[in-house]
Amino acid sequence: MEIGEIIRRCRKQKNLTQEEMANRLGVTAPAVNKWENGGSLPDITMLAPIARLLDITVDTLLSFRDNLTPEEINGIVRELDVMFEEKPYREVFTWAKKKLEEYPSCEQLIWQVALILDARRMCGNALSDEAQEAKAPEECEALPFTLSPDTPARALPEDTDQYDDAICALYERVLESGDESLRNRGADSLYQFYMHRKQYDRAEKYLQYFSLQNPERKRKQAEIYAATGRTQEAFRTWEELLFAEYGILSATLHGMFLSALKENDMEKARLLMEKDAEMARCFEMGKYHEAAIRLELAVTEKDAETTVSVMTDMLSGAEQINGFCRSRLYEHMHFKELSPEFCAKVKTNLLACFRDEAAYGFLKDNKRWQELTGSQK
């Protein structure tokens, strides 16, 4: 992190505007803005006044080294873990705080240390699942800490609530990260923090850090609805998530299916097609969708009997192309009703498509196809 980013972060933590900081330092607001945006650096004579104003040391102000390596982060985490086995929580907490002051720009370390401190103060005999799963960047090993039933009681804090604000402040720092995945981790930690305390309004505040496209945002919103007695809203939100996830999973399987066809791997193509069809049945998408998934492979293999059978199923299912609307899986969702005229048009278009000899010419001598499409010679 550059010095300008440290100034910006610490200024915000002090609840100062750029104008207020400029007035107290005797400089202009544009000068502060340039420092924070990397357009210029503070004069050396300004370092001490800036550090005093922001309640940090000059060493902290100048510690704009790059992030620690995964190995260095793991080393600090191991040291923290060992200390928890031997020292009181208060003492370990103080050590961790000083360590983070040495590396104020290492957001990964900030989040991991906050998560460990949070978990250690909350549990008596075992770390939370979230902490057990906490990891450094992908190339880093899993965190090397455990908390066994034999962990001495002295490692646990005497009054856990007194650490709430400090730990939440660490999570809040991660929310300013330029790394979306790390922002999500920080937001998730704060969400879990307040959900655990049944402070649902505060937990909901952190959903804004998840993009609207992130399914975790919708899932967490449903959890809040359920926890606050809004059961119908919770069901609707979960159902919307389920319906959307089907679309993503089906598109993914179809993409894999097409790649298998391109590689002429018919065995894998058939497996993927069957999985897609099974999923359509599992998600209760209706007869039409279950059948349509099978058409492309049947045509590729020039399997006349299967192709005509699939066509028949699709035509008979066209009248209920939105059969999922009647599934109890989605009973709290609102779908637009399809008119009989629309369904009839779908059926007409399907017949026109099935008569296309360029695609289905291999069926020209098949009597079932001729009868189905009205293409008798």
Residue 12 lies in a domain: yes
Q: What is the pLDDT of residues 41-55, one digit of tens each?
A: 898 889 899 999 998
Choosing from 15, 38, 62, the residue where a domain stops is 62
The residues facing 135 across adjacent strands are 142
At residue 63, the pLDDT reads 66
Q: What is the pLDDT of residues 15-32, one digit of tens each?
A: 999 999 999 999 999 999
At residue 220, the pLDDT reads 97
Judgement on whether residues 125 and 257 belong to the same structural domain of the protein: no
Q: What is the pLDDT of residues 286-328, one digit of tens each?
A: 999 999 999 999 999 999 999 999 999 999 988 888 889 999 9
Mean pLDDT of 227-252: 96
Residue 122 lies in a domain: yes
Judgement on whether residues 90 and 216 belong to the same structural domain of the protein: yes
Does position 376 have pLDDT exceeding 80, yes or no? Answer: no
At residue 147, the pLDDT reads 38
Judgement on whether residues 252 and 206 belong to the same structural domain of the protein: no
Mean pLDDT of 36-43: 89
Residue 54 lies in a domain: yes
When pLDDT is cut at 50, 70 and 90, the band that residue 137 belongs to is very low
b/e sequence 187-225, b meaning 16+ C-beta within 10 Å: bbbbbbbbbeeeeeeebbebbebbeeeeeebbebbbbbb
Q: What is the largest CA-CA distance in the chain?
A: 96
For residue 285, give the CATH number of its domain: 1.25.40
User: Count of CB atoms within 10 A of residue 264's CB?
Assistant: 9
Judgement on whether residues 240 and 325 belong to the same structural domain of the protein: yes
Residue 308 lies in a domain: yes
The structure's pTM equals 0.69
When pLDDT is cut at 50, 70 and 90, the band that residue 64 belongs to is low
When pLDDT is cut at 50, 70 and 90, the band that residue 126 belongs to is very low
At residue 117, the pLDDT reads 92
At residue 377, the pLDDT reads 53
SS3 for the chain, per residue?
A: CCHHHHHHHHHHHCCCCHHHHHHHHCCCHHHHHHHHHCCCCCCHHHHHHHHHHCCCCHHHHHCCCCCCCHHHHHHHHHHHHHHHHHCCHHHHHHHHHHHHHHCCCCHHHHHHHHHHHHHHHHCCCCCCHHHHHCECCCCCCECCCCCCCCCCHHHCCCCHHHHHHHHHHHHHHHCCCCCHHHHHHHHHHHHHHHHHCCCHHHHHHHHHHCCCCCHHHHHHHHHHHHHCCCHHHHHHHHHHHHHHHHHHHHHHHHHHHHHHHHCCCHHHHHHHHHHHHHHHHHCCCCHHHHHHHHHHHHHHCCCHHHHHHHHHHHHHHHHHCCHHHHCHHHCCCCCCCCCHHHHHHHHHHHHHHHCCHHHHHHHCCCHHHHHHHCCCC
Judgement on whether residues 53 and 157 belong to the same structural domain of the protein: no
Q: Give me the number of domains the chain comprises.
A: 3
Does position 145 have pLDDT exceeding 70, yes or no? Answer: no
At residue 67, the pLDDT reads 63
At residue 148, the pLDDT reads 38
Judgement on whether residues 157 and 193 belong to the same structural domain of the protein: yes
Judgement on whether residues 314 and 206 belong to the same structural domain of the protein: no
Judgement on whether residues 219 and 268 belong to the same structural domain of the protein: no
Judgement on whether residues 245 and 365 belong to the same structural domain of the protein: yes
- The residue range of the domain holding 31 is 3-62
